[in-house]
Amino acid sequence: MEYEMLRALRPIRCFLLDMDGTIFLGNKLLPKADEFIEYLKTSGRGFLFLTNNSSKDKTAYVEKLSRLGIRCAADDILTSGEATCIYLKGRGIQRVYLLGTPELEAEFRRWGFELTAEKPDVVVIGFDKTLTYAKLVTACELLRQGVPYVATHPDINCPMEHTYIPDCGAMIELIAASTGCRPKVIGKPNREIIESAFKKRPGFSLLEFAMVGDRLYTDVATGNHAGICSILVLSGESTRQDVETSDVKPHIIAENVAQILEALKILDHKE
C-alpha cells in the first residue's frame, strides 16, 4: 500500500461518495463496494452518497443500492435537488417557480416551498424530463422580469445504457440563448453541494472529510473547491492519463473503493 495514500487517509472520518462509476456501474456493483460501506459503518466512520441527478428522489437511490446489496437510509443520500432546497431555505426563499419532475416537485414541497408562477422569489431549473414549451416560456418571462435564477446542477448530458440524453446543463443553455440569463448552480463541482453535505453530517471538521468519485471535472473538482481531500477512483470515467493532462489534480488516486477499504484496514490495524 502506498505510503502517501495511507498518510492522506489517516485523518478521514467521513466519505462523500459519488455513485455511478464509484459504487456501481449501471446496474453492476463494483468490487467490494458493499464491503467498503459496511466497513465504514463498523469502524465508526461516516458516509454520504452525492448525486447531481435531480430528476429522482432519494428513495429511488435507496432502492437501487438495496438491490445491489448495500444497506442505507434516505438520510444517507444527498441529491442536487435536496442541496438546492437547503441552499434556498438558508436564504429565506418561500415561493419558487420550478422546472422539474414530479419527484423534484415533491422534494420542494417537503421542504415547505410554495411552487407558483405568481411572483416567485426564484426560478429553479432541474433535470426536468417533463419539460414543456409552456414551462420554458414562463421561466424566460420571469427571468426577463429580473427574478433570480438557480439550477440544481450543470451536467450537459445524462448517460444512459447505450446513449446520452439532454440534462440540466443543456436546458440552461437553451434558456441562456433566449434570455442571456445564467443561473447560480448548486450541484457538483460547486462548493454549495458540499456545504449541504456538511450540514447533513455535522460533527466533522474539514480535515476529516473526503470526496470520492470517478470524474476529475466534477467529483475531484468538488473536493478541491471545498477545501477537502479529493480521491479519484479509476473504476469509472477518468484515467491516470487524464490526470496527467488535467489542471484538476486529486490528492489520492485509487484503483477503486476496494483499495481504499484495504488502506483503511491497514490503518486501523496499525492503530
User: Which pLDDT does position 134 carry in this prediction?
Assistant: 98
**Mind giving me the DSSP string for 30-71?**
PTTHHHHHHHHHHTT-EEEEEE---SS-HHHHHHHHHHTT--
Contact yes or no for 232/260 (Cβ under 8 A):
no
**Mind giving me the DSSP string for 165-225?**
EE-HHHHHHHHHHHH----EE-STTSHHHHHHHHHHSTT--GGGEEEEES-IIIIIHHHHH
Which domains does the chain possess?
3-52+188-270 (3.40.50.1000), 92-185 (3.40.50.1000)
Contact yes or no for 261/30 (Cβ under 8 A):
no
Residue 225 — very low, low, confident or very high, per pLDDT cuts 50/70/90? very high
Distance between CA atoms of residues 51 and 67, nearest Å:
18
| Residue found under cell 431555505 | 89
Lowest mean pLDDT among 24-38, 154-168, 178-192, 200-214: 154-168
Residue 161 — very low, low, confident or very high, per pLDDT cuts 50/70/90? low
Region 94-119: what's the mean pLDDT? 97
Hey, how many other C-beta atoms are within 10 angstroms of the C-beta on 48? 19
Please give the backbone phi and psi of residue 240, each rounded to the nearest 5 degrees, phi first.
-65, -35
**Beta pairing, strands 14-17 & 209-213:** parallel
Which residues fall within 8 angstroms of residue 56, CB to CB, at 6 or more apart?
79, 101, 103
Per-residue pLDDT for 1 more than 60?
no
Region 55-81: what's the mean pLDDT? 94
Mean pLDDT of the chain: 94
pLDDT digits (tens, 9 = 90+) for 7-54: 999 999 999 999 989 999 888 999 999 999 999 999 999 999 999 999
Distance between CA atoms of residues 231 and 58, nearest Å:
24
Percent of the chain whose pLDDT exceeds 90: 88
Region 177-182: what's the mean pLDDT? 98
User: Which pLDDT does position 39 carry in this prediction?
Assistant: 98
Per-residue pLDDT for 142 more than 90?
yes
Find the length of the chain.
271
Distance between CA atoms of residues 52 and 78, nearest Å:
9
